[in-house]
Amino acid sequence: MIDDGLLTTTSADQAELERRVASLYAKELGTGPLDPEDDSLELARGAHAHYLSGGLGQLPAGFISLDASRTWICYWITHGLALLGAPLPAAPNRQSLIAFLASCQHPEGGFGGGPYQLAHLAPTYAAVAALVTLGGDDALSVINRPRLHAFLLRMCVPPERGGGMTMHEGGEIDVRGCYCALAACEMLGLDKEAVGRACDMVPFIKRCQSHEGGIGGEPWNEAHGGYTFCGLAAAALLGQAHRLDLDRLLRWAVRCQGAVEGGFMGRTNKLVDGCYSFWQGGAFPLLAALLAAQQQGQQGQQKGGESQEDEQGASGRSGTAASGVAEEAAATVAAAERLAKLLLGEQLGAGAASADASSSDDGSSSGSVEAGGESLREWVARLPHLSPAAAAERRAAELRRQLDAAVEASIDLEDRYQAAAGAAAAGSLQQEAVAALERASELQRALENCTEHAEVLACGATALLDDAAPALAAAGGAADGEAGAAARLPQLYDSAALQLWLLKCCQSLPRGGLRDKPGKPADYYHTCYCLSGLASSQHYSRLVLGGQRNLLARADPLCNVVAGRLEAAQRWCREQDAARQPMSGINVAADG
């Protein structure tokens, strides 16, 4: 949070949260260096699976407010269980879930939040993701893919009306719709480019990027973590993420990680929340894949002049080294290549973006992929390495200087007022003296808050992990294997701090489930996205805080469904299309 010295309800809540979290870290983890495999860092898989399974049956009356989110509840729970590697409960069974989701499908395409409800892009994504997670012919055949695609095209707002997508007939237009529509297309093998063209999607998303760098729901809205992920992922699914200002987006996103807590806030000067471990944290693998692809392209240019013999020799040597890479490393590389192709489109390996691709609609360039411009890696490399504690001390020193000056000014004005007693100027001097005294009081309070913040930082996530750096490096290296380190994506945020936050502050025990923050109850939404953020962090950083017992399944970084189940669904869709085309010539984008 930006410390501007102004006391507000939010800043007071932030200070209280920092004290609570620091106390929890100090109590649970002791004063010695953090052990990355400490028993207190265990993910309570069984408790969380039990909690999630309980939400698939009859829910309490209080859930009536979520009647239009029943497909979401199915997704949150099935995806959470899939990440944990836990089975579905015996009742309601898999067939019951499929039947319920089928009842939520609208006759004209898409899904509503519950049976007989209006088709809506958000529950359409949730229902499709849940059915993909359930997998199999019986689940996937529920989806009327041609009608769903037709529904998505109907939700497109033409460019002359501003572009973007409306969430439902007559509904609001925001970035969520862009993501939900394209993610559904990606999962089901539908024509996402047609949807992107129909609503002029990428220029719409560009207009939603704020002066801070993050993305808001609509043009001129405040930058928000959820909308930022949706906008970035939607642009990536169209292979046009490079058209966004990625430098500003990265700058904003990294500043949203709390130094004491380790978690992410969703907006500037807000409290951290467990769900943003995915909405904010999940954006970094996308950005890192772009960075890695850019570097790969630059290396390709440098090697362009080498002889064929040298290239063959290098290929043989790299092939020998790559043979020792663990299966997990290979999966990460494959994911990075897929993301890179989506992020850079046809530019992958070209070394630099074309003038058209690197420029914005108004002729400006983001500088992220422009030939000769500063790359994201170069920007990260030149960041000032100032620890949060050092920054707090620098801030305190500046406040002390300002306070001393304010006190001296107040004393001087008081002396001048006393000397001018009875004179015409005395009134104005008195007002100036009072104002200077109030300014000194404000600075004194700000200095006290800053000093307290520095004390809390000493027990925060960053300080704990700084002390544990050698152990964390060893744990990450062991996960890499012999050649895996070269395959790692660039690390753009503190993954260890995020995992510490999730494991120590967001688990609701012994009942199970994960939560917004300490003091809040667990719920299915936060359980899903805390687990999603933890899985993303583990597979992105190749670090598993708490040991391999905590390792979750790898989810697709763009669609947020377990990668293996997404691949199976996409393969099923291709097989259906191959069997259908020779017989009828019907395109999946048209209703048969």
Q: Report pLDDT digits (tens) over 78-124.
A: 999 999 999 999 999 999 999 999 999 999 999 999 999 999 999 99
Between 366-375, 503-512, 559-568, the lowest mean confidence (pLDDT) is in 366-375
* Average pLDDT over every residue of 43-56: 97
302 in a structural domain: no
Identify the band that residue 353 occupies on the pLDDT scale cut at 50, 70 and 90.
very low
Instruction: Report the distance separating Cα 112 and Cα 110, nearest Å.
Output: 7
Instruction: Report the distance separating Cα 524 and Cα 312, nearest Å.
Output: 53
427 in a structural domain: yes
DSSP per position, 369-401: S-TTSPPHHHHHHTS----HHHHHHHHHHHHHH
DSSP per position, 197-242: HHTTHHHHHHHHB-TTSSB-SSTTPPP-HHHHHHHHHHHHHTT-GG
* Average pLDDT over every residue of 485-514: 88
* Average pLDDT over every residue of 198-227: 97
Identify the band that residue 432 occupies on the pLDDT scale cut at 50, 70 and 90.
confident
Bond into 470 cis (ω within 30):
no
Identify the band that residue 424 occupies on the pLDDT scale cut at 50, 70 and 90.
low
Phi and psi at 257, nearest 5°, equal -90, 130
pTM, 2 dp: 0.79
451 in a structural domain: yes
Is 496 a residue whose pLDDT tops 60?
Answer: yes
pLDDT in tens, 333-352: 555 555 555 554 444 333 33
* Average pLDDT over every residue of 484-498: 77
For the chain, what is the mean pLDDT? 82
* Average pLDDT over every residue of 290-296: 72
- What is the extent of the structural domain holding 399? 388-459
* Average pLDDT over every residue of 19-32: 78
pLDDT at residue number 431? 83
- Count the neighbouring beta carbons within 10 Å of the beta carbon of residue 153: 18
pLDDT at residue number 481? 46
* Total tally of structural domains belonging to the chain: 1
Q: Which two tokens stand for residue 573?
A: 């869709």
53 in a structural domain: no
Instruction: Report the distance separating Cα 394 and Cα 172, nearest Å.
Output: 45
**87-94 contacts, C-beta under 8 A, 24 or more apart:** 88/53, 88/56, 89/53, 89/56, 89/57, 91/57, 92/56, 92/57, 94/134, 94/139
445 in a structural domain: yes
176 in a structural domain: no
Identify the band that residue 327 occupies on the pLDDT scale cut at 50, 70 and 90.
low
43 in a structural domain: no
Q: Which of 11-15, 145-149, 242-246, 306-310 has the highest mean pLDDT?
A: 145-149
Distances (CA, A) of 325 to 51, 402, 479, 489, 564: 37, 56, 10, 15, 20
* 236 or 365, greater pLDDT: 236
pLDDT in tens, 514-530: 999 999 999 999 999 99
pLDDT at residue number 231? 98
* 402 or 327, greater pLDDT: 402
550 in a structural domain: no
pLDDT at residue number 282? 97
Give percent above pLDDT 70 in the chain. Answer: 74
